[in-house]
Amino acid sequence: WAGFTALHYAAIHGNRAIVELFLSNGADPNCMCDAGQTAFHFACQGNIYIMHTMMQYGADLRLRDFQGKSSLHHAVTGGNVAIHFLWETGMFRFTDTDMFRVTPLHLAASTGNIEVVSYLLKEKRCFVEAVDHQGATAFHVAAERGGIEICWTLLQRAGCRILHQRNYNGFSPLDLSKQGHQQLSKLLSRYIREPLHHKPTDSNLYYWTLFFPSLGGAAILLIAAMLGGYGGLACLFLFPWLAQSIFSQYHRMATYQLPNPIYLGTLIAGILHSLLCFYGRMIPNILYLRGIQAWPYSSLAQVSLFHFSVLLGMFLRILSQDPGVLDKADSDPRFSCIADLVENNENLQRFCPYCEPDYTKHCKLCQACIKDYDHHCLFLNRCIGRDNHRLFLCFIFAMVIAHLLFVAMAMCYLYSKMSAEGRSLSQCLTLLGEEFWVVVMMVLNAITLFWEGWLLIEQFDAIASVTTIYFRHGQSPARQKSQSQRWAIVLTFLLEGRKWLGSKT
């Protein structure tokens, strides 16, 4: 059994109840296996509650295994919360090394844990240039394993000088990356000739991704226009391909670990193409109508013009407004450390090493704690929280109205064209082929209405329950109220906003 005790196995599997049973019956948390690892070392790899329990039963945090690895080294596998929990004890330093001079940053780079790497780099907790017994930095370790996200993060922090640092065998990170990691090698080669002090910033790929939906949609429409009457068929095949290319992407950009802007780009593309179609195609034709037939269309155009102007203003406002980022000065003094959270049975998944009071969530994409956190909106590329939740809801309402106005105007436009050219099936199909731009945008606007309807239902339920989507769980007393009372809560929220959720009683 390699010297493993039953307590070792219970800690490895994260069984809190069994661990407490063994400890209460005299199990020794400091007993070592053949490799010098204690049960507490294994607990550090994933379960904060077991770590806290073992500390109460006398676990010696100073013990190291036979490779000289401390509990902090083992906690790299457990994540940044486990590391921070140990750091709070005051018995560890982030620069601690084992007998091979390996730091926690080396281990995080070798395991590809980007969250731990980012945590260790904050506030200069670890030195990027620290070398192990082979002269390798964490950058060498990540390059040898092909960790492109880790390498990009370290390169941004240390600058291009780290590309020229060689280990004791004379290999640079670029040399190591050439051993089977072509994508990483290509990335590092791009910066090898940059000045040593240069620190790479966000790649141009970020902006290309942002405008890809707009440019892709424009290219498809251009192809359809060149095909004439067959343009509708081209749109029928190419737009689903574009949608699949967009919605199959991850919420982070794989190489640069930046929030993926493609969903925001999709929203921008929808607004841009809808406005171009509305004012470039439909309105000019509507204004040519004369007599009694003209007034309902022109009135609808005037209403749409005013509403779209308001919508654009709200869109720009919500992209620039602070969602409610929590300052360090506003952190909750009741939970100033992880030990306080553990003792009060708080949810550690919501913990931020800097600030985490009630009804606040740390967003890993925005890298900020958000008060009254509702969700991170991929289509706005920002969080929805205390200071912009009401604006977000108003924006969704405005989007629904805009979609309805567009669909109504498009139907009026197509109807007016059919009235002039006839209504036979062949003529209708010909019209759809000729007016593929209007038809495609009308269909896309109509489809979007279903998603927005579902979102409004979810928002109504959360707001009427005096909570947010993220913190909505269990049975809220507000859910027992009548439908009219729930509507009153929603209307009050729209008119007055919401105070801190913690004071909703």
| SS3 state of residue 38 | strand
Q: Are 107 and 76 in contact (CB under 8 A)?
A: yes
**Which distant-in-sequence residues (6+ apart) come within 8 Å of 57 by Cβ?**
23, 29
Helix (H) or strand (E) holding 377, with range, is strand 375-377
| SS3 state of residue 313 | helix
Cβ-based burial of 399 (10 A; exposed 0-12, middle 13-18, buried ≥19): buried
Domain boundaries 6-191, corresponding CATH code: 1.25.40.20
Question: In the chain, where are the structural domains located?
Answer: 6-191, 206-320+390-448, 328-371
Question: What does the DSSP assignment read for 130-171?
Answer: ---TTS--HHHHHHHTT-HHHHHHHHHHH-GGGGG---TTS-
Q: What tens-digit pLDDT sequence spans the chain (505 residues)?
A: 688 999 999 999 988 899 999 999 999 999 999 999 999 999 998 788 899 899 989 999 999 999 999 999 999 988 888 888 888 888 899 989 999 999 999 999 999 888 889 889 888 888 899 999 999 999 999 999 998 888 988 998 889 999 999 999 999 999 999 988 888 898 899 888 888 888 887 666 778 888 899 999 889 888 888 877 677 777 778 888 888 888 888 777 665 566 788 999 999 999 999 988 888 888 777 666 544 455 566 677 778 888 888 999 999 999 999 998 877 555 555 555 666 667 666 665 555 554 455 567 878 788 788 888 889 999 999 999 988 999 999 999 999 999 998 898 888 777 777 755 556 666 666 666 677 888 888 989 999 999 999 999 999 988 888 888 887 765 455 556 778 888 888 888 888 776 555 544 3
Cβ-based burial of 216 (10 A; exposed 0-12, middle 13-18, buried ≥19): buried
Tally Cβ neighbours within 10 Å of residue 486: 19
Helix (H) or strand (E) holding 362, with range, is strand 360-363
Alpha-helix residue ranges (DSSP H) falling in 365-482: 389-421, 425-434, 436-464
- 123's tokens: 């506030």
Tally Cβ neighbours within 10 Å of residue 96: 18
Q: What are phi and psi of 336, to 5 degrees?
A: -80, -10
Q: Which residues of 119-156 are buried (b: 16+ CB within 10 A; e: fewer)?
A: bbbeeeebbbebbbeeebbbbbbbbbbbbbbbbbbbbe
